[in-house]
Structure 1
């Protein structure tokens, strides 16, 4: 009985592992095609918008999808090694990260030369490929939710629409405060030519 359960678990593990390996092989083909990936993502978003406009409703699904996209954008533009923007506490100025991350380094000092100024772009919390991958998964998931009648919860959509913009405003304000606190800008991620 125990041996049969171990064999079944082993077969399930092998099947899941095989699916993961095949998925990774297929997804790795798209790493080099940045513009094509994002154009494909845009087409999926337009397909979702078309579906929503045709059937009407599903405002909660769209709201959650948009909030998730906002979170992806914030993670994409936050440097690696800093506390997440959503965990910043406005009242608590003496948090554990303040002493560790006063300002992010953008230069490297060489032992042979004093004040050697070499530009190094910051590393992102989420890579561009992972951001694209999560964006594609979220739009596909939101699209599939439009076929489930239970996801069509009746709400007063103008209230939800205005609430989304309040959330965007608050998030941008919090993100700007985070940028000032740790001394970085969105432009620090680009390469200097």
Structure 2
């Protein structure tokens, strides 16, 4: 007998070829979308709107929506958190600056924006597909789930904001902060920071 995997006439060969081609094309378009965050998020908003409309018109699948909400909240915490948490890890030079005299270090997220977007988009698509199976339509009293999720969101965000205040970081910086330096008495710019626009 010759190698079983080397046979190109195998019934699985076309499936493997199609899967490989689909994966390559999918990765190509995913890479092209990387520098277009507004377009990506608008697409995700469209997917989320379709999911919300489906759940609204079916008047069910609230437990899936609750699970989706918990998952998105978990992703949001990762998106707002620094990669190196000053509370949990030993500071190894990658810490957040705490004073204006500290060297500028950009905020590095635990969950980068692209991965955050990709995970949310996949979650909405999976939740949408789950609405086609009645197995997942568990009867629940949805106002209780909604209230519980709102309380959970408020408590989690309060804890995250307190962490931001305690360690003095803002997760939405767009570049190096520019300080207005003092001019020296002679009018020269010696010692003042260089501003580049």
Using structure 2 for the length normalisation, give the TM-score. 0.71
Give the number of aligned pairs: 172
How large is the RMSD of aligned CA atoms in angstroms? Answer: 3.2
In 2: Cα distance, 1:52 partner to 1:145 partner: 11
Can you give the 5+ residue segments of structure 1 that lack an aligned partner in the other structure? 84-94, 108-114
Identify the residue that residue 189 of structure 2 maps to in structure 1. none
- Pair 1:49-2:52 in alignment: yes
Q: Is the deviation greater in 166-175 or in 123-132?
A: 166-175
Task: Report the 3-state secondary structure (helix = DSSP H, G, I; strand = E; otherwise coil) of the residue aligned with 2:4.
Answer: helix
Asked if residue 186 in structure 1 is aligned to residue 170 in structure 2, the reply is: yes
Question: Within 2, Cα distance between the matches of 1:45 and 1:80?
Answer: 28
The equivalences for 1:1-193 within 5 A come to 3-4=3-4, 19-82=22-85, 97=88, 99-100=90-91, 104-106=95-97, 118-180=103-165, 183-187=167-171, 189-191=173-175, 192=177
In the superposition, the TM-score normalised over structure 1's length comes to 0.73
Q: Which has the larger radius of gyration?
A: 2
Question: Following the alignment from structure 2 to structure 1, what is the Cα–Cα distance between the partners of residues 92 and 168?
Answer: 11
Q: Which has the higher contact order (CA 8 A, sep 6+)?
A: 1
- Structure 2 match to 1:91: none
Q: Which has the higher helix share?
A: 1
| Gap runs ≥5 in structure 2 | 179-197
Output the CA distance in 1 between the equivalents of 2:107 and 2:66: 31
